[in-house]
Amino acid sequence: MIPLWKIKRELSRLKHQAAAIPLLICEPILQKKYDRNRAQNINVSDGLLPALENLVIFVIFQPEGVALSILHTCRHLVASGYSPLVVSNGSLSDRDRASLQKVSHLVAERPNFGYDFGGYRDGVWLIENRALSPNIILFLNDSVWFPVTDDSNFLDLISETSADYIGTQVFENGSENSDVEIMFPSYCFAVKSPLLQHPVFTKFWSNYRLSSSKEVTLRRGERAFSRQMLDVALKPLGVYSLSRFFKSLDTLENEELLEVLNDMVALDPKHEAVRTSLLGASKGPAWNEEVKKLVKAVAKAKNHIGSSPVFSIKKMAFPMIKKNNQRLYTLARKQTLLAVDEGRLCTMNETILAEMRVHKH
């Protein structure tokens, strides 16, 4: 029998697809009108910080007021040598605007048109409009908490690597009968010079068609941008890739593997049955291999930061937690909080922890 949560997920997806059809007609007209009055549509406030060679377009959507974790992210960006350009998909209160100005170079408020890629697009336009010449542009949105630990060196890695297109993760899509297509997700990625000046990069943003449909934005934005950048990047790098996850897992002995098995989130009943069986089995070389085989299979079927959330943070130093309300990430957050409460994950940022406890569902 198909689980109810899966039926609800598919119905929601179909609903979004149906809603996108009329948008195909009206949104090109809306975008022309928006771009014609772009300078008036975007309210820009200067921040207190200078523009550095490393810029961040940090897109936020905080309709209930800017959360403390947003300011935490900005402070970490600044401390790591990055200048935030905060792009809010919606107007800000005077208080929130003033708070963001203290930890950014610019604060831009725009209509909530086009999701994160609408904000990224206006961020790129502002960089050009202000005649800024960054060496790095980090694209980040508030669909994740970042950094979840105060000692994260992820931004240092981006600054120091010779790669010109850096993704936080690598998603693979393909089968035995087709070529595997890889993609860097859009919640956090970086592009470095000279790729920033490449015609493919500049044309993407000048030709990008905004949409308020999530499905269309994923197709035109996340997937298309990643595909085009991977085609022209000299040295792309997916930092927390599945292969890196597998290599980290292969180093574990039985005691650590038992912890991974306990923390693992398995949505497939077949995977969960195997997990339960292994938890009660005697520990030996064969058990070790079977656990690794299971954890890898679940991670391959689902995002490993969701299926093995504690391991990803604790052993891989993954610096983010997704706020997504899909069942995988809801359960992952619960498992992460359990590890914190049991004293097995002691490096988590307190501001983020407090928000996670509210954002359980």
Report which of 56, 86, 57 is spatially closest to residue 71, judged by C-alpha positions. 86
What domains appear along the chain, each with residue ranges and CATH number? 16-238 (3.90.550), 242-358 (no CATH)
The confidence score (pLDDT) of residue 28 equals 84
Query: 64 phi and psi, to 5 degrees?
Result: -100, 15
Beta bridge partners of 84: 56
35 token code pair: 């771009």
How high is the pLDDT of residue 180?
60
Confidence of residue 11 (pLDDT cuts 50, 70, 90): very low
Distances (CA, A) of 88 to 82, 145, 240: 18, 16, 28
Those residues with Cβ within 8 angstroms of residue 93's Cβ, 6 or more apart along the chain or in another chain? 65
DSSP 51: P
Q: Does the pLDDT of residue 43 top 50, yes or no?
A: yes
More confident residue, 7 or 162: 162
Whole-number pLDDT of residue 172: 84
Query: In the predicted model, what is the mean pLDDT of residues 325-340?
Result: 96
Alpha-carbon gap, residue 266 to 295, rounded angstroms: 9
**What's the confidence (pLDDT) of residue 175?**
46
Other Cβ atoms closer than 10 A to 63: 9
Q: Residue 189: helix, strand or coil by DSSP?
A: strand
Average pLDDT over residues 333-346: 96
Residue 318: CB partners within 8 Å, gap ≥ 6?
148, 240, 305, 312
- pLDDT class for 139, splitting at 50, 70, 90? very high
